[in-house]
């Protein structure tokens, strides 16, 4: 595998050899002074160029090594993505290195320098870019909730939970699992992040997909969160759903108390009761006879 220095030499060598490329910026994990050495870290690179149109209309021939797979994401029919203001190549090389290369016009430098505090200028041919602050993780810190975002997170969780239960009652395991992972987990993870911020301060990052929460949360909460993952089997999704509801209720109360936010547990009680009713409802039922209280 080529070393980090070899990759930077390739990236900067290409930029120096092409007059239309006026500056090079590094974003992301490799700009993080706190990162642990990791050969899988991407090289998130921005080339600022005078004329973007030439890159829009013709493929970029980058002699950076043998490609394992690559895709262009500024023009993508599968996801209906069309971004006229940049070109983006994601390149996975056979030796394990990966470059996520964005090409944008020099006039758009501000966002690539300041939107992410993990940013470093590697090359500035014209001296046109301002000095950047020392890179840090502050743009990725957990954001303290206000009363409205806290309320909306709780509402979204309890609104979606019955979708999971009705999918399970119908035998639609993929429907239930999809709502569990995309919706329920998203709100549960958000609440856990807020509680981690309340405990440890909001000058922390929860990491990608919340993987740093293990160091920020009490072990019982972290292990409880791990229990909310399920195999795609009816009984196990039910188990995971009820565990997620139990954990969400507990962490919501802890977060509200720690941050001085108002909380009403009506949704917790009534929706959980509805989920249990649905769990026990015969599969041949034609009507519902549910009473929350």
> HEC states along 196-215?
HHHHHCCCCCCCHHHCCHHH
| Secondary structure percentages of the chain, helix, strand, coil, to 5 | 50, 15, 35
pTM greater than 0.75 (yes/no):
yes
Sheet holding 21-27, edge to edge: 67-72, 86-93, 98-105, 43-49, 21-27, 119-124
- What residue spans of 19-72 are helical by DSSP H? 53-57
Secondary structure of residue 104 in the 3-state scheme: strand
Whole-angstrom Cα distance, residue 274 to residue 282?
A: 14
Residue range 175-192, pLDDT digits in tens:
999 999 999 999 999 999
Residues 7-46: tens digit of each pLDDT: 999 999 999 999 999 999 999 999 988 888 888 999 999 9
Tokens of 160: 């979606």
**Structure token pair of residue 278:** 């649905």
Region 74-86 average pLDDT: 88
> Can you tell me the distance from the alpha carbon of 59 to that of 183, in angstroms, rounded to the nearest whole number?
38
Superfamily for domain range 141-280: Nucleotidyltransferases  domain 2 (1.20.120.330)
- Please spell the DSSP secondary structure of 151-219, one letter per residue: HHHHHHHHHHHHHHHHHHHHT-HHHHHHHIIIIIHHHHHHHHHHHHHHHH-SS----GGGTTHHHHS-H
Q: What is the pLDDT of residues 195-234, one digit of tens each?
A: 999 999 999 999 989 999 999 999 999 999 999 999 999 9
Instruction: Please report the pLDDT score of residue 253 as a whole number.
Output: 97
Chain region(s) in the chain for CATH 3.30.460.10: 4-139
Give the pairing of strands 98-105 and 43-49: parallel
Whether residue 58 is predicted with pLDDT greater than 80 in this model: the reply is no
Q: Which residues on adjacent β-strands are paired with residue 11?
A: none
Give the CATH number of domain 4-139; options: 3.50.50.60, 3.30.460.10, 3.40.50.2300, 3.40.50.970. Answer: 3.30.460.10
Sign of CA dihedral 150, 152, 153, 159: positive
């Amino acid at each position: 595998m080529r070393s980090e220095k070899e990759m930077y030499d390739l990236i900067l060598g290409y930029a120096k050899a092409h007059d239309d490329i006026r500056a090079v910026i590094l974003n992301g994990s490799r700009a993080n002074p706190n990162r642990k050495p990791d050969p899988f870290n991407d090289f998130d690179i921005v080339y600022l160029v005078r004329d973007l149109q030439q890159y829009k209309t013709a493929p970029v021939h980058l002699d950076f090594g043998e490609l394992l797979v690559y895709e262009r994401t500024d023009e993508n029919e599968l996801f209906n993505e069309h971004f006229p203001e940049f070109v983006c190549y994601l390149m996975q090389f056979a030796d394990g290195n990966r470059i996520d290369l964005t090409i944008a016009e020099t006039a758009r430098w501000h966002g690539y320098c300041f939107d992410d505090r993990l940013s470093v200028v590697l090359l500035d041919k014209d001296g046109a870019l301002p000095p950047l602050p020392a890179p840090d993780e502050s743009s990725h810190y957990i954001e303290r909730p206000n009363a409205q975002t806290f309320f909306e997170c709780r509402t979204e969780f309890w609104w979606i939970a019955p979708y999971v239960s009705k999918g399970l009652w119908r035998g639609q395991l993929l429907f239930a699992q999809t709502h569990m992972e995309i919706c329920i987990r998203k709100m549960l993870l958000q609440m856990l992040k807020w509680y981690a911020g309340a405990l440890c301060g909001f000058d922390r990052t929860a990491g990608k997909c919340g993987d740093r929460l293990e160091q920020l949360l009490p072990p019982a909460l972290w292990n409880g969160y791990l229990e909310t993952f399920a195999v795609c089997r009816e009984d196990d999704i039910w188990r995971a759903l009820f565990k997620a509801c139990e954990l969400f209720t507990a962490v919501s109360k802890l977060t509200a108390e720690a941050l001085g936010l108002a909380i009403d547990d009506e949704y917790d009680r009534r929706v959980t009761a509805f989920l249990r009713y649905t769990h026990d409802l015969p599969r041949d039922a034609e009507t519902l006879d549910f009473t929350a209280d």
